[in-house]
């Protein structure tokens, strides 16, 4: 998975990674991927929930180059 945009939210506490995801969704085109890299343990549940509420596709979780959790979203609208 190669996201068009990767947000570095490693040092941001909850709920900031989700706020950043919402702010930057429009930075990618419909069909493109946006990744959120976050150490916040709540992001593992918050990102998929946000996608369900906002009608976007949660692609899944992998790791960034440094091993940090990375949550990938596909913009659908």
Catalytic residue numbers, as ranges: 14
Torsion of CA 48, 60, 24, 49, to 10 degrees: 0
* Bridge partners, residue 8, by sequence: 37
Contact criterion met (CB below 8 Å) for 71 and 51: no
Specify the residue for token string 């995801």.
Answer: 21
């Amino acid at each position: 998975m190669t996201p068009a945009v990767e947000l570095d939210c490693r040092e941001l506490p909850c709920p900031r990674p989700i706020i950043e995801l919402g702010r930057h969704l429009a930075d990618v085109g419909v069909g493109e991927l946006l990744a959120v890299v976050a150490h916040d343990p709540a992001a593992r549940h918050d990102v998929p929930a946000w996608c369900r509420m906002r009608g976007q596709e949660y692609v899944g979780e992998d790791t960034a180059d440094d091993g940090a959790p990375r949550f990938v979203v596909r913009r659908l609208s």
